[in-house]
Chains A and B, each alone.
Chain A
Amino acid sequence: MTRKIDRRTFGKGTAGLLLGSTFLGGARSLRAQYAAPAEGGRRGGKLTVGSIVEPPALDPFHQGADARIQVTVLMYQGLMFEDASGTAQPLLAESHELSQDGLTYTFKLRRNAVFHGGRPMTAADVKYSYDYVRNPENGSPGAGDYATIEEITVLDDHTVQMRLSEPNAALLMTLTNKYGGVVPEGYFADQAARARMNQQSVGTGPYMLAQFQPNSFLTLRRNPDYWDENSGLLDEITFVYLPNAASMLVALRSGRVDMAVLSRPQDAAQIEDAANLEIRRFPSFNQKSIDLDLAYEPLAPLEVRQAIALAVDKTKIMQAAIGGFGTVIGTMPAGMQEGWGAPVDELPNQGPDLARAKDLMDKAGHAGGLEVTLTTIIGYDWMDPAAVTLAEQLKPIGIDLQINKVDLGVWINNFRSRKMGFTFNDWGTQPDPSLLFYRHFHKQPEGADFRNWNDGPGSELLDKGRQESDPAKRRAIYVEFQKRLAEQVPTIMMFSSDHVVVSSKKVKNYRHHPTGWYFGLADAWVEET
């Protein structure tokens, strides 16, 4: 039942392409971006994908749940695409240009993009959609990301201009597929339109909604008018929602589902022996972390936070939580480490170092012991074993760890109201350091500062990093920020878990995107059986 709390991860993929802004994209065909080219791919056929997480709703503008993003990326598209290698590539835009002062972006739009239902997409639709999503009054969780956009202007039917209030090196990555997407102009004028998205899709993507039966299944049908004729090979994709990881394994074995991304990567060991199945690992941009709320009294002293960081043995916790199916990290999700991460050996407070941790606890005046409560979330399977392992690791430094399991809704409520305490977290980012750090760690009111860090120097670095467009300089700024983060310990990033995809051997050419979103299904196909 593992769910991603919220996914904003991305970064450098395995391909190892250089990061940085590409100002003239559009030459590459989209299929190479969604997945690898499908050599001799067969058209037609159906695919059943098993999933444990179910989207509460399919509205990409207002519903922030990761389970929603996973599937709506097949139906709705933004101007850009979050390439697996960590760059923003043109999607509904054909090309883009940035003015000298770094404040004006001009987008040339794809001319053959058509909405589900047949109406061609124009610049007015793009302006409408982004104006809608960035207006906080419209209630989109993505609104904050677009705060630097000052004005969107239609230059002609196929050209749109965005003017910024200040340079924002992360803008192109913001225009990707997490929130919103381009929908027909005026779509939301009708109050009931939001709800209708659960019955009918109105995007430009390769698949359109056929039927959504909550607590049961979701069926997508190929969009016959899709603008990239090489994409969208399957006739039909059905997501079946299963109750737990064990029934997923049963369903895979028995062939009742053709493919699934394991919610618990270590479950791969339970089906290794199945001859009809193929197991593959893909890197991911998520992070499992321990968050430390500085307003939570026991964690207020810096020494205590540093002692905890030094006492934690990330490898052991990962082993207990997800087996060996992940990568221990420092201050950057594994997939973004190469492009943006500070070298782990240069980071302070990386353990385990019990002697120093104990010293710090003594210095903080807690030689006699300290009681701390860790919050975990019901339904996140990795958290239970991780919590008991963490409790064992903190015992030697005199911390008595109580575990408090709460419902996801309660947890999010605490998190958003900045009362998270000491908690596990499970989140991601689009592959840009500003999108990763800014909202979470910049002090208020610009950032949300969920952990009550309220750090001046750190916030300054985040401001500088967002404005800097030179990739090398930008990287240096973020390395410095990460050192600050590791020094101050408002969070302890533990590990990124791999995406483990199990599929029947008839499924071909599926590549799982590092976000965990199902972009790859647009290019997958099935062998005739």
Chain B
Amino acid sequence: MAGYLVRRLLAALVTALLSSLAVFLLVRAVPGDIVAQMLGQAGGDPATEQALRGFFGLDRPVWQQYLAWLGQVLQGDLGTSWTQGLPVAGIVGQAFAVTLELGLLTLIVATAIGVPMGLVAGIHEGRLLDNVIQGINILGLAAPVFWIGLMLLIGASALIGWSPPFMYSPPGQDLWQNLQILLLPILSLGLLQAVAYSQFVRQSVVSALQQDYVRTAIAKGLPQRKVFFKHILRNILIPLVTFMGLILVQILGGVVVIESLFALPGLGRLLLTSIQNRDLPVVQGGLLLVVGVALSLNILIDTLYQYLDPRMRR
């Protein structure tokens, strides 16, 4: 177990390192740097350009820039934003908090909708209710998240004349406002994840029902409710927990367009605007965080899985 963890962690570290290098090179390959952005159509003076490039360290060879950045990161310093002048760690952390809240609430909503749907479908396998739910699942998987967001915006405005507030406030400041802002994004993201859940749970229930001991229990005449709670639910609990982690990873990666659409100051939108503004330290720091979170969640899920499931213990 411990050996396994160490191996996984090492592999994750190597991946993170390689990813950071890839990001570093990629963002520098995008034409037009921050200096051009700042000068716009005005200043054409080469001396001015050079002065600004020097200020941002863009006049050094790329490998030097990377090593300098990496050295900083290893000391726990993500650098300073080129546009805002604030520490990247703070900017990225603040944005991540927004995304994380969105992700967790989406997860809750998706679980609350998706799990019962999947249970019902699984128990009614092959019957009408199952078919209806499966139909919903397919439509939910097929619809682009941002399009659902657009439709919800249109619908809310046309049907009840409501539109979400646009000024984000953190939950600690004004919870009501915060929830109003997050409502439509959660619904748009939640639908996709709910049907993913529902699919998964249905499949688990169906296969649990085929297990010999469940069949035996039913044949023995055990009350349905007892079979359900004692055998089926317990059986799918472990995969469900791990699936939750996968969903969270997916949500965190999928919020980019939704955050832009609903003006949420989350990590996805931050990355997008920072790429547009060529604020490279923020892009690097933000992506490092995304990669780090995804990798550690993956390890966590696998470890949890091994720990929870006795059959997986070697």
**Count of B interface residues, CB-CB < 8 Å:** 49
Chain B, 1-54, CB within 8 A of any chain A CB: 30-33, 36-45, 47-49, 51-52
Known A-B contacts A139-B52, A195-B86, A250-B157; A450 and B41 likewise in contact (beta carbons under 8 Å): yes
Is A21 among interface residues, defined by CB-CB distance under 8 A? no
User: 1/0 contact trace for B250-275 toward A, CB 8 Å?
Assistant: 00000000001111010001100100
Q: How far is the CA of A139 from the CA of B278 in the complex (A)?
A: 17
**Is B277 an interface residue, CB under 8 A from the partner?**
yes
In the assembled complex, A398 has its CB within 8 A of some CB on chain B: no
B38 with A62: CB separation less than 8 A: yes
Stretch at the interface among B159-167, B228-236, B299-307: B159-167
Residues in B whose Cβ lies below 8 Å from that of A253: 163
Known contacts A216-B265, A240-B166, A250-B157; is A143 also within 8 Å of B45 by CB? yes
- Asked if A409 contacts B37 (CB within 8 A), the reply is yes
Closest to B85 in A: A195
B278 x A409 contact (CB < 8 A):
yes
Q: Is the CB of B55 within 8 A of A139?
A: yes
Contact B48 A139 (CB under 8 A): yes
Cβ A198 vs Cβ B42 within 8 A: no
A136 touches B51 (CB 8 A): yes
Residues of A contacting B163 in the complex (Cβ-Cβ under 8 angstroms): 247, 250-251, 253-254, 256
* CB of B64 closer than 8 Å to a CB of A: no
Do B32 and A410 touch across chains, with their CB atoms under 8 A apart?
A: yes
Asked whether, in the complex, the Cβ of A241 is within 8 Å of the Cβ of B263, the reply is yes
Q: How far is the CA of A215 from the CA of B265 in the complex (A)?
A: 5
Interface centre among B40, B45, B80, B277 (most CB of A within 10 A): B40
Asked if B84 is an interface residue, CB under 8 A from chain A, the answer is: yes
Taking the closest CB of chain B, its distance from the CB of A448, in whole angstroms, is 3
> Could you tell me which residues of chain B, from 142 to 199, have a CB within 8 Å of some CB in chain A?
153, 157, 161-163, 165-168
Provide the residues of chain A in CB contact with B168, threshold 8 Å: 216-217
The reply to whether A142 and B263 contact each other, CB–CB distance below 8 Å, is: no
In chain A, positions 99-147 with a C-beta closer than 8 Å to chain B are 136-145
In the complex the two chains form, is A65's CB within 8 Å of B43's CB?
no
Contact indicator A136/B45 (Cβ below 8 Å): yes
Question: Roughly how many angstroms separate A57 CA and B32 CA in the complex, as a whole number?
Answer: 18
Tell which of A48, A242, A254 has the most Cβ of chain B within 10 Å. Answer: A254
Binary contact track A54-93/B, C-beta < 8 Å → 1, others 0: 1011000011111000000000000000000000000000
- The segment out of A223-231, A387-395, A412-420 that lies at the interface is A412-420
Q: How far is the CA of A396 from the CA of B297 in the complex (A)?
A: 60
A414 to B41, CA, bound (A): 11
Q: How far is the CB of B110 from chain A (nearest CB, A)?
A: 24
Taking CB as reference atom, which chain B residue is nearest A248?
A: B166
Report, nearest first, the 9 A-B pairs whose CB atoms are least far apart: A195-B85, A413-B32, A448-B44, A409-B32, A141-B43, A136-B47, A6-B41, A64-B40, A139-B52
Pairs across A and B, CB under 8 Å, 13 listed: A8-B42, A54-B273, A56-B37, A57-B84, A136-B45, A136-B48, A197-B85, A216-B265, A251-B166, A408-B37, A408-B276, A413-B36, A450-B41
Residues of A within 8 A of B (CB): 5-6, 8, 48, 50, 54, 56-57, 62-66, 136-145, 179, 192, 194-199, 212-217, 238, 240-244, 247, 250-251, 253-254, 256-257, 407-416, 425, 427, 439-440, 447-448, 450
